[in-house]
Amino acid sequence: MTGIPTATISRLVTYLRILEGLEAHEISRTSSNDLAERAGVTAFQVRKDLAYFGRFGTRGMGYTVPILKRELMRVLGLNQTWNVVVVGMGRLGQAIANYPGASDYQFQYVGLFDVNPDVVGRTVRGLPVRHMDELPEFVRGHKVDMGFLAVPPDHAQDAAQALAGAGVRGILNFAPTVIQPRMLERAGQQEISDEWRAVIVENVDFLAGMKRLAFYILNPHLNAVDTEETE
Amino acid sequence: MTGIPTATISRLVTYLRILEGLEAHEISRTSSNDLAERAGVTAFQVRKDLAYFGRFGTRGMGYTVPILKRELMRVLGLNQTWNVVVVGMGRLGQAIANYPGASDYQFQYVGLFDVNPDVVGRTVRGLPVRHMDELPEFVRGHKVDMGFLAVPPDHAQDAAQALAGAGVRGILNFAPTVIQPRMLERAGQQEISDEWRAVIVENVDFLAGMKRLAFYILNPHLNAVDTEETE
DNA sequence: TGCTGTGAATTCCTTCACAGCT
DNA sequence: AGCTGTGAAGGAATTCACAGCA
């Protein structure tokens, strides 16, 4: 059961957001055409994307908003709680920690970390900023699932390895750097033998976004209307 | 001369970043293999990506770091100055306005905007926060090229239209919403007839990044090591 | 020999057309 | 009749193999 396009996952996130908007406006029915228009893709695409994961509609009728929303949340793993630490409490890290909407969808910030003594000990969003030395114990003790990485680029690899070594399952990397995956080893890797799982890295890079924008302004004919970026 | 993959542009940004790192370490030569390893892609990919834009290497020798860097900057439009306004001066907007590295590469913040009276009039990074009412005149007067959009999602479409109407050429949208392109019309559209150019929209969405991460943690076998994301 | 540049092959993703329920 | 779900066709993007220079 391999082979779901990465782009499909990004679009599912978009569909989910649209469904939330519809629900907020108390619209209870939709269709592949309606979703497609709102998402800026084709109706074929919507149906194909959904078909990877099941049959959520009714022929001749369309989709029921709450049902499709629930199913997409299940598919995307958003009906469970995710414990998150943020590493790097500079301006970006603070903005991330305070971003409204992150706390929806069961993303719970449980710990904040930095190495700068000026920052460690301060309180952000009601949580104390801890020193990185405490990370391994904290991750194990608090069942942390993900780390959000908002450190300067030259410290990103080290911090990513610290997170991976402490045992997180995924890293959302905000630093404009490629994290080398082969150096990411989870704590207790030797215990896991058969069912070895790599640490997942997703990137959010807005410097890259700025540069892509510059390119497409200069070369508008090369621009395709798409959902994400890249990424 | 159509058909350069969007993913290629994202990767060019990555290559450029690597070249900057090499230059900072006074490494003056590289190769498709070296770049590939650092970028987490194949050497074929690197060469193909570069080949879309020219011949920058020497057979048998590889690439000269400063030359390839210069060429990539030219291709990406980073050897010119881009005037930027930031719309939405909440925590995220402030983090963006203060982000180090944005001011490299000739992205110059020339204006900051909001509608909240508590924020308008305050100073961020030495610039006064102006009211959105002033946007159209400001964009024309200061030759603004791009707008960075960091407003709440329910105001993103309106703000995007305001930016487009004021005459910016591109929008970097940080709000978790799809901007409907058909409503973006540049000021003076009637004047431009033949050489009509759409406003380019690039998205940077870290809520989407969080959700993709959740999915790939639950489905690690579906994860492909890639540069962006989407997106 | 070593590494780039590039047509050809392959794989992957999207688009299409229509079968299948309601 | 209307809209979903899906195998098949088509189109892109990546991978490959090797020709072409230094």
Q: What is the pLDDT of residues B40-85, one digit of tens each?
A: 999 999 999 999 999 999 999 999 999 999 999 999 999 999 999 9
The model's confidence at residue B224, banded by pLDDT at 50, 70 and 90, is low
Here the tokens at position A129 are: 């900023």
Interhelix angle B32-39/B43-51, rounded to 10 degrees, is: 110
Dist. CA B211–CA A101, nearest whole Å: 12
CB-CB under 8 Å, B105 with A210:
yes
Percentages helix, strand, coil for chain A (3-state, rounded to 5) are 45, 15, 40
Mean pLDDT of A70-85: 97
Is residue A138 within 8 A of residue A144, CB to CB? The reply is yes
Is residue B83 within 8 A of residue B77, CB to CB? The reply is no
Is residue A148 within 8 A of residue A112, CB to CB? The reply is no
The model's confidence at residue A231, banded by pLDDT at 50, 70 and 90, is very low
**β-sheet bridge partners, residue A124:** A127
Q: Which nucleotide, over all strands, has the C1' atom closest to the CA of B54?
A: C5
Among candidates B48, B56, B58, which has minimal Cα distance to B19? Answer: B56
List CB contacts (< 8 A) between B176 and chain A: 17, 101
Mean pLDDT of chain A: 91
Q: What is the pLDDT of residue A65?
A: 98
DSSP B52: T
Is residue A47 within 8 A of residue A72, CB to CB? The reply is no
Q: How far is the first Cα of chain B from the last one, in angstroms, to the nearest whole number?
A: 24
The model's confidence at residue B182, banded by pLDDT at 50, 70 and 90, is confident
Here the tokens at position B160 are: 């995007």
CA→C1' distance for A61 and D4 (Å): 8
- Amino acid in the structure at residue B79: N
The model's confidence at residue A226, banded by pLDDT at 50, 70 and 90, is very low
Q: What is the pLDDT of residue B193?
A: 37
List chain B domain ranges.
6-76, 82-207
Residue B165, pLDDT > 60, answer yes
Its CATH architecture, for the domain B82-207, is 3-Layer(aba) Sandwich (3.40)
In a 13 Å sphere around the CA of A20, the CA atoms on its Cβ side amount to: 15
CB-CB under 8 Å, A221 with B18:
no
CB-CB under 8 Å, B91 with A213:
no
Residues whose CB falls within 8 Å of the CB of residue A192, separated by 6 or more in sequence, listed in order = A186
Lowest mean pLDDT among A135-144, A156-165, A220-229: A220-229
Residue A45, pLDDT > 60, answer yes
The distance of B103 to chain A (nearest Cα, Å) reads 10
Residue B220, pLDDT > 80, answer yes
Residue found under tokens 């905007």: B113
Dist. CA B152–CA A100, nearest whole Å: 9
Percent of chain B with pLDDT over 70: 90
CATH number of B6-76: 1.10.10.10
User: What's the predicted TM-score (pTM) here?
Assistant: 0.94
Percentages helix, strand, coil for chain B (3-state, rounded to 5) are 45, 15, 40
Among candidates B228, B88, B218, B222, which has minimal Cα distance to B159? Answer: B88
Angle at B230 between CA A68 and CA A195, to 5 degrees: 75
DSSP A198: P
Residue B87, pLDDT > 70, answer yes
Percent of chain B with pLDDT over 90: 83
**β-sheet bridge partners, residue B30:** B63
Q: What is the pLDDT of residues A5-36, one digit of tens each?
A: 999 999 999 999 999 999 999 999 999 999 99
List CB contacts (< 8 A) between A171 and chain B: 213
CA→C1' distance for B216 and C12 (Å): 19
Measured in degrees and rounded to the nearest 5, phi and psi for residue B62 equal 110, -150
